[in-house]
Amino acid sequence: MTTVYEQGAVALAPPEPRRSPAGPVLTFLWGGAAAVVALWWQDTGSVVGTAGWLTGAGRIAGLLCGYACAVLVGLMARVPLLERRIGSDRVARWHAMAGRYTICLLVAHVVLILFGYAAQDGSSIVHETLTVVLDYPEMLKGTAGTVVLFAVGITSARAVRRRVSHEFWYYVHLLTYAAVFLAFGHQLALGSDFTGDGPAQAAWYVLYLGAAALVVWFRILAPVRLNLRHRLRIESVHREAPGVYSVVMRGRQLRKLGARPGQFFRWRFLTEGMRWTSTPYSLSAPPRQDLLRITIKALGDHSAAVPMLRPGTRVWAEGPYGSLTADRSTAHKSLLIAGGVGITPLRALFETLPGDVTLLYRARTTEDLALGGELEAIARWRGAKVLYALNGPHGQRPSFTAESLRAAVQDLAGHDVYLCGPHGFAQDLYEALRTAGVPDRRIQHESFEL
């Protein structure tokens, strides 16, 4: 069954291209790291002996680790400038990279400082460790914060993350805030670069309070305001294909959300067994005045429970997020390539993207073509084209090569390409598109494989 969700009078005027602020943001972040190193340089005289070199290197690692902690928190505060202009996937990758830097710097700081102090005092590393942890001010809290950060780092490793539930990973990840709070006092109490340096201490407070303010505003206050204002509830649930369901939600003044086709929200369904899990799902149709729709494939315990949702259930939403929108358009012709449930954001774009649009939809069988009736109706309404790539009669998968893509879509290199699907599928298509001559700047894709 296909959800009845009529096409509205959607303007198809080409948007003004907007330049991504990714470059300036990265320059700003690396500039902050340079300023931290400059702080150490200004406060350091001559470095003498093995102990001096070890403790000096440990101080640099500690300062950079402290700076990276603030950056780590700020990157995942879901700041609209980052989430909508740069893209949630890229910001998530930056966050993951910052996390790896943080853990490596933390290890270097602990090891170098302890060996440097041991060399300076002429004591064993075990004795020095116990002395630092038990006798130095703020070190018990700092040690607790270090242990928590290591736990977060371990559960974030790809091999571990694949073996634990999303809920477990998510709640352990939230402990990052506790770890940063516990370690902050240690940085100011024992950091020789801050002792007696009022401007350096003030800058550190501004850095951490700024990151905390971003979290409080965008992860707490903004979602509370959104949900009090729009009061979303389940309107209906419809089966679209085997294991695929659409959820239609009704709310107030939904146009004021500012949601764009191609974006997603994080959804929390306030019913038994689902209220503690916040999961990202894309809009599968353009937002209406009082309706939003998402389409979900049952891939885990949470998504498998979606068919059991009942009309009237309250919904808690956070967003909109993502930059897979018409703002990325650079040409008057677009090719949308969807794999499986990756059709959800592309169905919304298929209705609203300006210019000539072609949709290539990859699925195993005709039964797996979710929203197929709507896609055909949109194609007829706007004079667009829908192509299907299905398995053969004996289950053989279609091959996506540069030659097959060029044969299917004329002037392929002149198209903007919007790509959404499983990671391996998207990676293969990306390589084929580049081989076919599509410039990298015209391949739009959001991936959350970290």
pLDDT tens readout for residues 70-114 = 999 999 899 988 888 888 888 888 998 999 999 999 999 999 999
For residues 345 and 161, the model is more confident at 345
Read off the DSSP letter of residue 339. Answer: E
The answer to whether residue 7 sits within a structural domain is no
Domain's final residue, options 290, 321, 352? 321
**Same-domain check for residues 163 and 242:** no
**Same-domain check for residues 209 and 242:** no
At residue 8, the pLDDT reads 46
User: Does position 449 have pLDDT exceeding 60, yes or no?
Assistant: no
**Same-domain check for residues 357 and 268:** no
In whole angstroms, give the CA distance from residue 347 to residue 336: 9
The answer to whether residue 8 sits within a structural domain is no
**Same-domain check for residues 211 and 140:** yes
User: Does position 10 have pLDDT exceeding 50, yes or no?
Assistant: no
**Same-domain check for residues 32 and 164:** yes
For β-strands 443-445 and 315-321, DSSP reports them as unpaired
**Same-domain check for residues 64 and 146:** yes
Kindly report which listed range (41-55, 116-130, 290-304) carries the lowest average pLDDT score.
41-55
At residue 12, the pLDDT reads 47
Domain's final residue, options 194, 210, 225? 225
* Cα distances (Å, whole numbers) of residue 157 to 67, 109, 170, 173, 276: 22, 21, 13, 12, 23
The answer to whether residue 1 sits within a structural domain is no
The answer to whether residue 265 sits within a structural domain is yes
pLDDT tens, 268-299? 999 988 888 888 999 999 999 899 999 998 87
User: Does position 17 have pLDDT exceeding 70, yes or no?
Assistant: no
User: Does position 234 have pLDDT exceeding 80, yes or no?
Assistant: yes
- Cα maximum dimension of the chain: 82
- What does the block give as tokens for 104? 């490596």
**Same-domain check for residues 202 and 240:** no
Which CATH number belongs to the domain containing residue 249 in this structure? 2.40.30.10
Mean pLDDT of 320-332: 88
- For residue 188, give its domain range: 22-225
Q: Residues of 124-161 as b/e, b for ≥16 C-beta within 10 angstroms?
A: eeeebbebbeeeeebbebbbebbebbeebbebbeeeeb
Residue 371 is which amino acid?
Answer: L
Please list the residues that pair with 283 across neighbouring strands.
294
- What does the block give as tokens for 354? 């300006």
**Same-domain check for residues 216 and 235:** no
Q: Residues of 247-279 as b/e, b for ≥16 C-beta within 10 angstroms?
A: bbbbbeebeebebbbbbbbbbbbebeebeebbb
pLDDT tens, 292-313? 999 998 877 777 888 899 999 9
Mean pLDDT of 213-239: 95
| Confidence bin at 185 (pLDDT 50/70/90) | confident
Please list the residues that pair with 280 across neighbouring strands.
266
**Same-domain check for residues 333 and 399:** yes
| Number of domains composing the chain | 3
In whole angstroms, give the CA distance from residue 61 to residue 74: 20
Residue 144 is which amino acid?
Answer: A
| Confidence bin at 135 (pLDDT 50/70/90) | confident
In whole angstroms, give the CA distance from residue 362 to residue 311: 32
The answer to whether 76 and 88 are in contact (CB under 8 A) is: no
At residue 285, the pLDDT reads 93
